[in-house]
Amino acid sequence: MTYQQHTTVDLEKDIILPCRKGATPELSGVDIPERLDFEAELGNFHTLYGTSGNKVYLLGLGDANDSANIGEAFQKICYKRSAKWTNEIQVIAAGLTSEEIKKATIGLEMGTYEIGQLKTKQKDAKETLVTFVTSNDVSAELQEGKFTGDTVNRIKALVDAPANVKTPEYLGNWASESSHSAGYKCTVFGMDELEKQGFDAVIAVGKGSVNTPVVIVNEYMARPGDKIDIGLVGKGITFDTGGVSIKPSQNLHYMKSDMGGAAAVLGAVELVARLQLDVNVVGVVASAENAVDMNSYRPGDVINSYSGKTIEIIDTDAEGRLVMADAISYLLKKYSPERMIDLATLTGSVVRTLGNAAAGMFTNNAEMAQDLSRLGAQVHERVWQLPLYADFESDLHSDIADIRNFSGKPVGGAINAAKFLEAFTESHEAWTHLDIAGVAFGDSGFAKMKSATGYGVQLLLAYIRTLN
């Protein structure tokens, strides 16, 4: 879509009229019935017709409690009705704040996402001009909204892609192409470099697959030579069978989504570069396919790691924390970032705890916890803090190695995974782990099966903006 601003409305063209719950919809020149059967609940819409046969869509924005999520209302109407739009549609934006206009643009852009990219019959591409009618200058909001929605769509396509297409190498190529178009540096380590540098945990996880692992390092340096403001780490397991500790077959096809953390990191670095923010950001993605083969690592094995710590393998299905450990150690050793956030679809435990409402947040930094909680509520990518109590450290004790990768207990799984990662952070004072297993992929009104949400990009962008 293309976005522009205009100060007057054309009453002969299609119009979206946002409506607050409890308020009477009004638009000069449009006859809106007094007794209208329309409740402006978030995402509800009702179609009226103008004198020239044009459509006027009343779009419900809900009440004040829905303000953080009005982008979903615009996403829904675009997804449901854009095929019937002409080449131009107008949004009456006089009653919207600049932040709401940005959210509306993000939502409209996200509403164009087509999940069926591998179907033989594709929908005809359609370019729509969206005109926001307001007297305020909102050009910056429209551009950021366009870039954000487009980037989120791009990472949703990554998460939704099947594993036979989306190999670790594919992720590396995606990042390389992104770096050329958005203007940042991308380095992809293949097997030879992984062995040379000592990414032993990444290699162990990927040993059972014909698709060899990679580590992707993306650098956006607005101030070359200066400190790294933030380092991001993403889990990039392109398919997770569970390895020798194999998963049940039910819903196993959804394990193509086990790289949601990687997608968020790749998207966040791309978006920061597209917006040319005044920050130094490094994103590290450790990507492998956890498969079953005669070369697969096994329960009971002891493996090395980039940090030098030895790890006893209790469960090969606790593989994400292994590749994350190597990525965290690499980031700390090579870049010493001021702050560090890792994202991973790490545990079913966090889904049982928080459902699909929020990511589990683990940190000992009170300022980061407060900022991420506040910003997550604002962009509707919520987080909820869970503890990192020392009580859980004994669960990862190993008699034969420095640490074991799984506690074996039926409770506290998300916390134990976070404690495992914490052991590789070198007591960094500004580290936060986000377990996004419940929010990166799930049911929605935009697909018949579970699909990608694009979670993480907007939260990371909002947080990175506070570092300027």
Which of 265, 226, 196 lies closest to 454, judged by CA? 265
Provide the 10 A C-beta neighbour count for residue 286.
34
Catalytic residue among 13, 76, 156, 321: 321
Are 92 and 138 within 8 A, CB to CB?
A: no
Which residues 6+ apart lie within 8 Å of 345 measured at CB?
A: 235, 237, 257, 258, 259, 260, 261, 320, 435, 436, 437, 440, 441
Rounded CA gap, 281 and 300, in Å? 38
The two beta strands, 14-19 and 441-442, are unpaired
Are 417 and 435 within 8 A, CB to CB?
A: yes
Which of 382, 402, 363, 457 lies closest to 149, judged by CA? 457
Provide the 10 A C-beta neighbour count for residue 214.
28
Rounded CA gap, 420 and 405, in Å? 7
Q: 347-363: string of b/e by CB count within 10 Å (b at 16+)?
A: bebbbebbeeebbbbbb
CA-based Rg of the chain, rounded to a whole angstrom?
A: 23
Catalytic residue among 21, 80, 247, 465: 247
For residue 19, give the amino acid letter: C
| 247 in catalytic set | yes
Provide the 10 A C-beta neighbour count for residue 8.
9
Rounded CA gap, 247 and 236, in Å? 18
Q: Helix 457-465 to helix 366-379 angle, to the nearest 10 degrees?
A: 120
Q: Which residues pair with 240 in a beta bridge?
A: 290
The two beta strands, 431-435 and 359-363, are antiparallel
Rounded CA gap, 78 and 71, in Å? 11
Q: Which residue matches tokens 């909680």?
A: 373
| 321 in catalytic set | yes
Q: Which residues are marked as active site? A: 247, 321
